[in-house]
């Protein structure tokens, strides 16, 4: 998990009243809320089993502050929030705790819930963690451009999506690096693990294309249809997502129709097939290819470098933290525009 070195002022923590009820004082039979006594100056750890949890934080201190919160494997859970000196601001979010805590085929990570404090001047006045009772899950099925990347400078858009969601909606990111529709369906750590967890009303966003380089069109279409049918069989709502573009330009400043727009070596136009399956199966579509194409071309050859890892790795496929955050914002906008989540459950700006 990413660590931050700027400390919360010690005087602030010591002066803050703890709100967690000690176990001996819980008389209603419910597990008491876990609070700030589980935090150090830079991080919090809560020894909870896998599940979904509501987190309520109180931000602010004697001095002006600006706090962001990440958790587990570098997931952005709360965007940087400024609080004037002497004031307090409450924020809430819902977080998914699982094993492995990041990529499904990656390292297990640490047990429980880990949170890290970031921002230019972090100040945590109080925190409460309680089991979520009526959370709606957004499952993510995807590849390395979506997944919870374990280390800098990489980040998938699914890793940045939670910060745009309020309490009551949680992201369960089961995207995994290097996966195609073929391997995702075939690996028991992936689809066979995700499908049994889907509950009625859950969303399942599916973006698989980057690694289907040798998948023929009939197989690719059939695999997408299998995923759609599997989600519906559990009462969930599938959402097909066309892949983010690669940053490959033509001489005229437009993106390359093959490499950039995800046409594989067999001539399979992945975004076109996804759009066709969505139409044929009456599945909501987030056309992230179209949205990212428009954005990258508008920024141009130089301006678009910051979205990807070109400056760090000469990588025109994987996104930086900045790029993943921007692309997650596009997904948020599409979720609201297509009425897949209520507007009141997302953070804007």
Spell out the SS3 assignment of 217-236. HHHHHHHHHHHHHHHHHCCC
Radius of gyration of the chain, Cα coordinates, nearest whole angstrom = 21
Rounded (10°) angle between helices 270-281 and 217-233: 40
Domains, the chain: 15-21+32-132 (2.60.120.260), 134-349 (3.40.50.1110)
Per-residue pLDDT in tens (0 to 9) along the chain, 349 residues: 333 233 343 323 322 322 332 222 333 345 557 999 999 989 999 999 999 999 999 999 999 999 999 999 999 999 999 999 999 999 999 999 999 999 999 999 999 999 999 999 999 999 999 999 989 999 999 999 999 999 999 999 999 999 999 999 999 999 999 999 999 999 999 999 999 999 999 999 999 999 999 999 999 999 999 999 999 999 999 999 999 999 999 999 999 999 999 999 999 999 999 999 999 999 999 999 999 999 999 999 999 999 999 999 999 999 999 999 999 999 999 999 999 999 899 998 6
Q: How many CA atoms lie within 13 A of 30 on its CB side?
A: 10
User: Before 153, cis peptide (omega within 30)?
Assistant: yes
Q: How many CA atoms lie within 13 A of 38 on its CB side?
A: 22
Q: How far apart are the C-alpha atoms of 20 and 139, rounded to whole Å? A: 31
């Amino acid at each position: 998990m990413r660590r931050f070195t700027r400390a919360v002022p010690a005087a602030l923590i010591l002066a803050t009243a703890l709100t967690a009820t000690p176990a001996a004082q819980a008389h209603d039979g419910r597990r008491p809320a876990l609070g700030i006594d589980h935090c150090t100056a830079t991080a919090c750890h809560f020894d909870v089993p896998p599940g979904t949890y509501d987190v309520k934080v109180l931000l602010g201190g004697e001095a002006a502050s600006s706090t962001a919160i990440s958790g587990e494997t570098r997931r952005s859970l709360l965007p940087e929030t400024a609080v004037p000196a002497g004031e307090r601001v409450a924020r809430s979010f819902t977080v998914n705790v699982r094993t492995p805590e990041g990529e499904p085929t990656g390292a297990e990570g640490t047990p429980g819930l880990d949170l890290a404090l970031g921002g230019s001047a972090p100040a945590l006045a109080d925190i409460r963690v309680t089991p979520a009772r009526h959370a709606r899950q957004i499952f993510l099925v995807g590849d390395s451009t979506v997944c919870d990347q374990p280390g800098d400078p990489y980040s998938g858009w699914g890793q940045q999506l939670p910060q745009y969601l309020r309490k009551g909606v949680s992201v369960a990111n089961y995207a995994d690096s290097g996966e195609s529709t073929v391997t995702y369906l075939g690996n028991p750590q992936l689809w066979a693990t995700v499908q049994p967890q889907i509950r009625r009303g859950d969303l399942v966003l599916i973006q698989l294309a980057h690694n289907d380089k040798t998948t023929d069109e009939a197989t690719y279409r059939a695999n997408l249809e299998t995923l759609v049918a599997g989600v519906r069989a559990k009462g969930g709502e599938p959402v097909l997502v066309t892949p983010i573009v690669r940053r490959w330009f033509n001489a005229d400043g437009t993106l390359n129709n093959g490499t950039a727009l995800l046409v594989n070596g067999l001539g399979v136009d992945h975004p076109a097939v996804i759009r066709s399956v969505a139409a044929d199966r009456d599945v909501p579509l987030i056309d992230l290819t179209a949205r990212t194409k428009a954005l990258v071309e508008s920024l141009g050859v130089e301006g678009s470098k910051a979205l990807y890892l070109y400056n760090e790795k000469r990588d025109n496929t994987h996104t930086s933290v900045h790029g993943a955050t921007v692309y997650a914002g596009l997904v948020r906008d599409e979720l609201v525009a297509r009425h897949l989540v209520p507007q009141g459950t997302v953070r804007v700006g």
